[in-house]
Amino acid sequence: MLEHGASGVCIWDLDSTLRSSLSAITALAAEFPAIRVFSIAVDVTDSASVAEGVSSTVSTLGSLDHMFCFAGIVGCVPAISMTDEQWRKTVDVNTTGAFLCAQAAAKHMAANPSPNRSITLTASISAHRVNFPQPQVAYNVSKAAIVALKSSLAAEWASKGIRVNSISPGYMDTILNAGDGLEEMRQSWASRNPMGRMGAVGELDGVCVLLASRAGTYINGADFVVDGGAIVF
């Protein structure tokens, strides 16, 4: 966003994560010294925390034009042994959290009209196909719900000048897909992809820039699958 003309960026995350990311955020701000880059501790499952995040963002930047909802968690638990707590936590962060952030952003956007306002949600290829080989029913359901949420909000909020779309990434080489014991799965995901590899984080950049830019002002209610062709198999 900064490389393509964003006038300011506010990064939300849990306080513990922001503390561990402070050096990276500071480096980003130093790279763009003429632009306000800062962070706010926000729990996306808490509507009061989200509302405060919007208020603080607007207070500092003057407006909120584009919201990108990236917060998410994943858990590989067999459905037959999953606890109700595990189910609720995944859905609460991935689906309810996205709704609360979108709702809070939309309230500000609707009250302060502008020619180009957008909200981008993060779904997944898990919304379109069952994952293999890992069991993760709660995650899959939470992401399928995001695709439905995107369509519903796009229909409701277009008249308010707010576009709502979603991105469905394939297996990306991020912290969610890293760690001990995952190498066999990573090899499986790559072998089942026509391109033979996982996606790099930067390979989602283009879609994000498109959806926030003038080039995307007639894109509404769309879901962009960015997966190297994984779901064609």
175-233 tens-digit pLDDT: 777 777 778 888 888 888 898 898 998 999 999 999 999 999 999 999 999 999 998 88
Could you give the C-alpha distances from 5 to 94, 109, 120, 209, 214, in angstroms and in order?
A: 29, 20, 18, 10, 12
Sign for the pseudo-dihedral over CA of 107, 108, 113, 119: negative
Q: How many CB atoms lie within 10 A of CB 18?
A: 16
* Average confidence (pLDDT) over 127-146: 94
- The reported pLDDT for the residue numbered 178 is 73
- The reported pLDDT for the residue numbered 185 is 83
Q: Is the CB of residue 124 less than 8 Å from the CB of residue 73?
A: no
* Residues annotated as catalytic (active site), given as ranges: 124, 139, 143
Going by C-alpha positions, the residue among 145, 143, 152, 138 that lies closest to residue 170 is 143
CATH number of this structure's domain 67-232: 3.40.50.720
Report yes or no on whether pTM surpasses 0.85: yes
Q: Which residues are 36's β-sheet partners?
A: 8
- Report domain extents, the chain: 67-232
Report the chain's terminal Cα–Cα distance, integer Å.
32
Percent residues over pLDDT 90 in the chain: 82
Question: What is the 8-class DSSP label of residue 206?
Answer: H
